[in-house]
Amino acid sequence: MYHRLEEILIQQKENIEKVLESGYLEKVSQAVDVQVAALKNGNKILIAGNGGSAADAQHFTGELVGRFLKERKGFPAIALTTDTSVMTSVGNDYGFDEIFARQVEALGSVGDVFIGISTSGNSENIIRAVKKAREMGLTTICLAGMDGGRLKGLCDYEMTVPLQETPRIQEFHTMTVHMICELAEEKL
């Protein structure tokens, strides 16, 4: 068991090098700037994902509304994954693929930022939410993995972890959330 654990950490070290070489950090920096500008202008951030990415959306929102490292006022952010009554009513009436797009339509405003998190980049409900957000004038950011999937080319800003294994992609997504929160706190 120890050797397998050691292999995972060695693989992650190699993954870090691969991500660094891909230009990922430049994209994260751009995403930070866009979110900071929106928050400075009094706008909010809407975040959505499925499964582990739903947990990432909630984690991200918690760090923005609460705090990350510094005492500060809360930043306006909403995880679209937390209201089960809304999600189940929209899912029942319109289908699961619409659960986030409908919330973007109801809660989003021009100048807001929508962040869609999808490990594969192929989550239909995230794709539809991105399209709705763009239609409404929100800035869109995608946090994906692999080759970006069907989200590739749909978002204003794309942060794609160029790895293939879901757990390793999700680990980078968590690290990305932390980097964004830390830099946002520094800039604001």
Taking only the tens place, the pLDDT of each residue in 80-127 is 999 999 999 999 999 999 999 999 999 999 999 999 999 999 999 999
In a domain, 79, yes or no: yes
In a domain, 65, yes or no: yes
pTM: 0.95
In a domain, 5, yes or no: no
In a domain, 171, yes or no: yes
In a domain, 2, yes or no: no
Q: 14 falls in which pLDDT band (50, 70, 90)?
A: very high
Beta carbons within 8 Å of 104's beta carbon, 6+ residues apart: 46, 80, 114, 129, 132, 133, 136, 138
Burial class of residue 159 in the structure, from the number of CB atoms within 10 Å of its CB (0-12 exposed, 13-18 middle, 19+ buried): buried
In a domain, 63, yes or no: yes
What's residue 96's pLDDT?
Answer: 97
As for how many domains the chain has, the answer is: 1
Over the chain, what is the mean pLDDT?
A: 96
Residue 81 sits in a domain of what CATH number?
A: 3.40.50.10490
Taking only the tens place, the pLDDT of each residue in 145-184 is 999 999 999 999 999 999 999 999 999 999 999 999 999 9
What's residue 132's pLDDT?
Answer: 98
What's residue 179's pLDDT?
Answer: 96
- What is the span of the domain harbouring residue 105? 24-187
In a domain, 13, yes or no: no
What's residue 60's pLDDT?
Answer: 97
Structure tokens at 81: 């994954």
Q: 23 falls in which pLDDT band (50, 70, 90)?
A: very high
In a domain, 11, yes or no: no
